[in-house]
Amino acid sequence: MHAIVCIKQVPDTTDVKVNPETGTLIREGVPSIVNPFDTYAIEEALRLREKFGGKVTVISMGPPQAKEALKEAIAMGADEAILLSDRAFAGSDTWATAYTLANAIRKIGDFDIILCGKQAIDGDTGQVGPGIARQLDIEQLTYVFKIQEIDFQAKRIRVERLLEEGREVVETRLPALLTVVKDINQPRYPTIMGIRRATRTEIPVWTAADLPDAKPELLGLKGSPTQVVRVFNPPPRSGQIVMIEGESPQEQAAKLADLLLKEKVI
């Protein structure tokens, strides 16, 4: 079994501030973390390896410092890590990012499953995972809550997806790309033995030159069809507070339920 996990290094949002003029995140001086949703993807890959044997490879595209995120994945137990880092990749939107990662995955070669977090907490688009699947022309299973069954011999997988209106069970063939939600597992901490291995692991850095099949005009800013026209803060929500009076909590609850029904909220 070979699982590839795509991860992103993101600013720790508990510390991040927004530039009031440009509306963009101030990333300078903010500590970086592994995108929390990606840690669930790493954990799921490690669990598959524990069950079926094989290998977990983690890849990331980003500046040289994104190695830290990859080292954390190795400290958790991943076998190998590759960083895609080149000035030519800078300014990539979700399309160019998916294109670049897909090219790297093709170069890695054989794999059975690709795992991603459902979205990154900085961009919040949720597009890169599905983009990679389309670029590689494999099945995509988004918002996976549980892998119900997986058979690497028969190349079948059945998962439960967490949707807004409920759960959906989907079965498809492998290889497939999964994006996972946080309910899928509880990620482990790195162990000290893992940390020792991580600090001694040299992480290979692939540049555009290492991806000869990737067309230069499709990389980075040049390869990004998305144009950000304007960034702005949405107007603050307005509304009024109504205190529900009543003799007892039961009576108050009943009044609240009536109001919600009237407003068609429930």
Q: Is 10 in the site for another protein (CB under 8 A)?
A: no
* Residue selected from 75, 113, 128, 157 as contacting another protein according to rule CB under 8 A: 75
Q: Is 72 in the site for another protein (CB under 8 A)?
A: yes
Pick the closer one to another protein by CB: 129 or 190: 190
Q: Is 30 in the site for another protein (CB under 8 A)?
A: no
Q: Is 191 in the site for another protein (CB under 8 A)?
A: yes
Q: Compute the distance between CA of residue 175 and CA of residue 160 in angstroms, rounded to an integer.
A: 17
Q: Compute the distance between CA of residue 122 and CA of residue 31 in angstroms, rounded to an integer.
A: 13
Q: Is 11 in the site for another protein (CB under 8 A)?
A: no
Residue whose entry in the numeric block shows the structure tokens 């996976």: 144
The H-or-E segment that residue 6 falls in is strand 2-7
Residue 98 C-beta: closest distance to another protein, Å: 30
Q: Compute the distance between CA of residue 36 and CA of residue 8 in angstroms, rounded to an integer.
A: 9
Q: Which long-range contacts (CB under 8 A, 24 or more apart) does 140-144 make?
A: 140/176, 140/177, 140/178, 140/179, 141/170, 141/172, 141/176, 141/177, 141/178, 141/179, 142/118, 142/178, 142/179, 143/118, 143/179, 143/180, 143/181, 144/178, 144/179, 144/180, 144/181, 144/184
* Residue selected from 28, 109, 192, 213 as contacting another protein according to rule CB under 8 A: 192
Q: Is 190 in the site for another protein (CB under 8 A)?
A: yes
Q: Is 199 in the site for another protein (CB under 8 A)?
A: yes
Q: Is 193 in the site for another protein (CB under 8 A)?
A: yes
Pick the closer one to another protein by CB: 186 or 250: 186
Counting residues that bind another protein (by CB under 8 A) gives 12
Q: Which stretch binds another protein (CB under 8 A): 70-78, 158-166, 173-181, 244-252?
A: 70-78
Pick the closer one to another protein by CB: 202 or 263: 202
Q: What angle do CA 80, 84, 85 make, to 5 degrees?
A: 135
Binding footprint of another protein on the chain (CB under 8 A):
71-72, 75, 189-193, 195-196, 198-199
